[in-house]
Amino acid sequence: MSITSPRSGGKVAAAECLEGVQSCEPSEAGFAHAYALYSNLDGGSKIGIELYAAVLAMCAAASKGEAALKVLEDMRAAGVPPDEHCYAAALKACRREGRVQDVLALLERMRADPALAPGAFHYNAALRALREAGRWREALELLRAMAGPAHGGVAPNAHCYNTAMQACDAAHQPAEALRVLQGMRARGVQPNVFSYNAVMRACERTGDWRRSLQLFELEGEALRVCSAKPGEASPFALQAASQRAEMQSEGVEPDWHSHMCVLAACRRGLQWGRAMRTIQTMRSAGLTPGLRAYTAAMQTCIHARQWARAADVADMMVADLERDGIASFGSSGGGGGGSSDESDMGSAGGGSAAEAAVNGDSAAAVNGGTGEAAPPHLEEQARVPPLQRAAALTAQRRRRPSLLLFHASAQKLNAANTAWSAYAIDTALYACQRGRLPDRADALLARLRAAGVPTSHAMRNRLMAALESARRPAAVLAALDAMRAEGGDGSGSGSGGGVGAPDAEAVAAAVRACRALGLARRALELVEEAEDASVALAPTTYAAAVAACAQQDDGWEPALMVLARMRAKGVQPTSKAFASAVFACHAGGQWELALELLKQMQAHGLKPSTAVYNKAALACADAAPGPRRSRSSRR
């Protein structure tokens, strides 16, 4: 809604307007209704500061900074001076809308007004605006300046320090984050778990996973592993070691986000054993690791090529799914204690209503307090290994996800959990595939189906890939038959969450299995069925079918038939497809067709290999007058 829209409808009295604004929900629609009431105020009504404050609170809830600035102008024009609470709401609205300069201007206007006394919560709003804009240097300058005489000697609280450290974390400045943490202690401000989380994340994101782990660990060996060089402790290692002891003495208990920082550091350092111990520690402490934590631990094992250990982590994940159900088993762990990005900015340390207006974002309670958006739809996830997709999921992080701004519906949360579960399960099956553990993959799928998790094409394809990597082609074909049986009529609407007709990747794996087993007829049937179902097959699938035909006696006819089907579908034949067809023609004594295939290869811009030339030459030699070799010797 435009804030300059003309007033329409009947005039509203101030008391009626205040009652209507206070009854509005903190949402986009609620703001539109509240601002419409405010815009239609009776000009003769005397407007009190309570009404202005209520409208500003709606602007803050809906992230309408421009509207908040307009309300402040109306207050000044009406001779109603804004108080700290009004400025708090306006600062929050401008910050959420990304109006950094307006936030700084409002703070400066408060400082210039002798009747107002900006508090730490007002400065924290400016610090958060600078953090979200990536202006970490200005955030640190403001943090240092706010305690000086020019700013009235406002003492920064824990929220201010945490915001500054989070700005350093986002900017990959671990050294600055450590300095802020030291300054926090020097001023007698007690660090909390969010303070340490910010520093650990900053260390991990810059690749210094050892320093990140050192902030968390309590072992006396930390100085050695954190050394800049073997046998030489770096200055930061000494600082981190002293902070580690102070963290223990301060009684700061690690939360879910602390463990996630540890898992991220383990992934960078390939510390798969520590990652598995972290999962066990979370479970022992009553923290549900959740899909994100389990996925991080599995990825650490995958990076370290510990395929069986990744499958062990998957077993623990499925055990939680069996216990809690997919609907309640979210992407973040239960009992995480709120978001490390936002919830520590929550209910004010000072306890005032103005501080709650700036910092009291109830968002952290939604979505399990993850502070992180759900991953995108992963319909084609099986085509890309999880290791290559990790960065894509990490890039989905947002400082203020729209899901957290207002009341999130259960449907949205369930959709987010479903997307994360698909990614986590695919990661587990990928480990089974790479580790040639098809039995573990099959058992995992069976447990998931029993827990009510729908089976997808991606999951079945991973199982078939695991069977193929274990060189069990007969089992690959059996898995394809099971996929069809689950799909019922092929529509995917069969009971038990069937996956429907096999997709291109499943058909490709089955055709390769037919090639390994020498089942040329079955390979041709698979290709024909896929084409009848409008499944777009890859050139490599056709090439595998040609190779399966070439292994049979008189296989040159079906091999050429597959090449013809490729051209009919507009698929460019590959060098391997032509080579297999030439081999089949040689075995069948079709020297003219072998030469024709050589010409076709060159016409398609493909360069025949030496082996292909040799087979074509042998086919011609076998057709020459004189003693002939047997068919078996030709092959």
Tell me the mean pLDDT in the region 429-439. 94
538-566 pLDDT, tens per residue? Answer: 999 999 999 998 888 788 888 999 888 88
pLDDT > 70? residue 424: yes
> For residue 11, what are the CA distances in angstroms to 16, 70, 187, 346, 604?
10, 20, 54, 38, 78
Domain layout of the chain by residue ranges: 1-118, 516-635
Predicted confidence band at 223 (pLDDT cuts at 50, 70, 90)? very low
pLDDT at 416: 56
Residue type at 422 in one-letter notation: A
pLDDT > 90? residue 420: no
The H-assigned helical ranges of 500-626 are 504-517, 520-532, 539-550, 556-568, 575-587, 591-603, 610-623
Compare 39 and 344 and report the one with higher pLDDT: 39
pLDDT > 90? residue 251: no
pLDDT > 80? residue 297: yes
pLDDT > 70? residue 339: no
Contact 26, 361 (CB under 8 A): no
Contact 538, 576 (CB under 8 A): no
- The region of weakest confidence among 190-204, 215-229, 310-324, 441-455 is 215-229
pLDDT at 249: 58
Token digits of residue 394: 């990490």
Rounded CA separation 294/11 (Å): 58
pLDDT at 336: 39
Rounded CA separation 121/107 (Å): 11
Rounded CA separation 445/463 (Å): 8
Contact 279, 313 (CB under 8 A): yes
The topology under which CATH files domain 1-118 is 1.25.40
pLDDT > 50? residue 150: yes
In terms of average pLDDT, the best of 167-181, 268-282, 462-476 is 462-476
Residue type at 509 in one-letter notation: A
pLDDT > 80? residue 219: no
DSSP string, 244-290: HHHHHHTTPPP-HHHHHHHHHHHHHHT-HHHHHHHHHHHHHTT---H
> Does CATH place domain 516-635 in 1.25.40.10?
yes
pLDDT > 50? residue 406: no
Contact 128, 118 (CB under 8 A): no
Are 1-118 and 516-635 equal in CATH topology? yes
pLDDT at 100: 94
pLDDT at 350: 39
pLDDT > 50? residue 83: yes
- The region of weakest confidence among 175-184, 194-203, 224-233, 505-514 is 224-233
* Residue in the structure block whose two tokens are 């090439």: 543
- The region of weakest confidence among 38-52, 114-128, 174-188, 488-502 is 488-502
Compare 350 and 437 and report the one with higher pLDDT: 437
* Residue in the structure block whose two tokens are 């989905």: 396
Compare 441 and 344 and report the one with higher pLDDT: 441
Predicted confidence band at 326 (pLDDT cuts at 50, 70, 90)? low
Compare 262 and 358 and report the one with higher pLDDT: 262
Predicted confidence band at 431 (pLDDT cuts at 50, 70, 90)? very high
DSSP string, 314-339: HHHHHHHHHHH-TTT--SS-TT--S-
Residue type at 401 in one-letter notation: P
352-376 pLDDT, tens per residue? Answer: 333 333 343 332 322 333 333 333 3
Contact 564, 555 (CB under 8 A): no
Compare 69 and 494 and report the one with higher pLDDT: 69
Rounded CA separation 191/193 (Å): 7
86-121 pLDDT, tens per residue? Answer: 999 999 999 999 999 999 999 999 999 988 889 999
Rounded CA separation 598/578 (Å): 8
Rounded CA separation 618/224 (Å): 68
pLDDT at 30: 84
Predicted confidence band at 435 (pLDDT cuts at 50, 70, 90)? very high
- The region of weakest confidence among 182-186, 321-325, 464-468 is 321-325
